[in-house]
Amino acid sequence: MAIGTLRCFVIDVEDLEVGVAFWSEVTGIPQIRSSSDWTNHAYLGYEDEKTWKHEIILHRVSTAKTSDLGAVDAARRLDPGANRAHIDITVEDVDAATAQIEAIGGRLKYPPTVYPVPHAYEGARPMIDWAVMQDPFGNEFCLVRELTLPEREALAVAAEQGPAEDAHWRAVARTARHGD
């Protein structure tokens, strides 16, 4: 039995107008009117004449998020200034989505890779293609695409040849996906 149910996501931003434009573009969820006259919140969601349901609340904060980039452990992708919760967004193409998000003010935090990476641990079998992004305020979110069965099979065969770099694994998956 669940203790509760997910109501919505709350994202800290420093500028509501920039936050609304960015997150509405990324998710396709429109801004909706506020049920109050609060000036520290904006809402993305859906409404009609009877209902008002917010999916994302943007909360204006006065201080910027800080992160010590020198403290990032690249092997384990740990950052003491990183979010402790984030949104995963399903996309059709991680590279295309990354470029679109960068074009509207987001940043790439960790480049695309398959996960888990073959040989990362015993029995590692890649299931997703993903990248970690940041919104204009440094909040992290992931772009995720589930690998197709042909991609997973091609990666399993390629993994038998031994460890390789991320670019190799993504090229194997791309070839299997597009039949190149």
146 vs 8, higher pLDDT: 146
Q: Are 142 and 87 in contact (CB under 8 A)?
A: yes
Provide the CA 22 distance to its chain's centre, in angstroms: 13
* Nearest alpha-carbon partner for 99 in 112, 116, 81: 112
Predicted TM-score of the model (pTM): 0.75
Share of the chain above pLDDT 90, in %: 42
Task: For residues 158-175, give the mean pLDDT.
Answer: 90
Tell me the backbone φ, ψ of residue 42, rounded to 5 degrees. -135, 155
Token readout for 137 is: 């305020």
**Domains of the chain as residue ranges with CATH:** 9-60 (3.30.720), 87-178 (3.10.180)
